[in-house]
Amino acid sequence: MPHFLRTAGRLRRALLPLRHGLRLTFALTVAAAGAAAPAVHAQSPDGKPLRLIVPTQPGSQADAVARALSEPMGRQLGHPIVIENIAGAGGIPGTQQIVRAPKDGLTLGLVSSNHVINPAIYRSMPFDSLRDITPITVIGTLPLVLVVNPSVPANNVQELIALLKRKPDQLNYGSSGNGTVLHLAAELFASEAKVEVRHVPYKGAGNYTTDLLGG
């Protein structure tokens, strides 16, 4: 079976939980290589800090998880952890930096559900999501929550659906980017509710949250 078809089948199985759970999952990773496994122990005789690449904006869910994790993990490993945010394109540029990092045990990465979604969304990828990244552990899941500005005349999901049906394709929703789990979750909601709403993709959660609060 061609590699693409095998990968697509595995991605479809990986995406099945999104259909019902709609939760954002974060996993700690390292770039795959012959010496990648010892990176968890992060032996650094010269005292260099560990680099934790987070492929989202500062203030995002993934960033919050990484910052909560970095101090206790740094104490456990005996080395400070420096977080580096590389946002955009569903986490692809940041994850590419994880893949390209020297295999010296000093670079870790944090990926989200987008990591297994991207190969099914983008025509080409600068790395193989399954081959080039080694998962270490799942470190958390977060629910996806539907919210509106207080000025929107809807106090629950039923009222929001009714509003969207009265104003088809007149209201906007923001997400952290095209093809991200937030975008797909919103499109699933619109499809099942049989409503039309315009998508406004942002580079990250921080920007669209600011616009949402601002009305």
Q: Domain map of the chain by residue range?
A: 3-143, 157-214
Supply the CATH classification number for the domain 3-143: 3.40.190
Q: Using 50, 70 and 90 to split pLDDT, how confident is the model at 194?
A: very high
Summarize the confidence of residues 157-184 as an average pLDDT.
94
CA 12 to chain centre: 17
- Predicted confidence at residue 55, as pLDDT, reads 93
Report which of 97, 119, 118 is spatially closest to residue 109, judged by C-alpha positions. 97
For the cut 50, the answer to whether the pLDDT of residue 177 exceeds it is: yes
Summarize the confidence of residues 23-36 as an average pLDDT.
70
For the cut 90, the answer to whether the pLDDT of residue 60 exceeds it is: no
Query: In this structure, which amino acid lies at residue 123?
Result: R
Give me the percent of the chain exceeding a pLDDT of 90.
Answer: 47
- Predicted confidence at residue 35, as pLDDT, reads 37
- Predicted confidence at residue 32, as pLDDT, reads 76
Cα separation, 67 vs 82, whole angstroms: 9
Tokens 């946002």 map to which residue?
87
SS (H, E, C) 46-111: CCCCEEEEECCCCCCHHHHHHHHHHHHHHHHHCCCEEEEECCCHHHHHHHHHHHHCCCCCCEEEEE
Summarize the confidence of residues 177-185 as an average pLDDT.
90
For the cut 80, the answer to whether the pLDDT of residue 2 exceeds it is: no
Report which of 127, 126, 81 is spatially closest to residue 107, judged by C-alpha positions. 81
- Predicted confidence at residue 28, as pLDDT, reads 85
Query: Could you tell me how many residues make up the chain?
Result: 215
Supply the CATH classification number for the domain 157-214: 3.40.190.10
Q: pLDDT tens digits, residue range 109-157?
A: 999 989 989 999 889 999 999 899 989 999 888 888 999 999 999 999 9
Question: How many CA atoms are closer than 13 Å to the CA of 133, on its beta-carbon side?
Answer: 26
Cα separation, 114 vs 191, whole angstroms: 20
Which pair of tokens denotes residue 104?
């010296």
* Identical fold, 3-143 and 157-214: yes
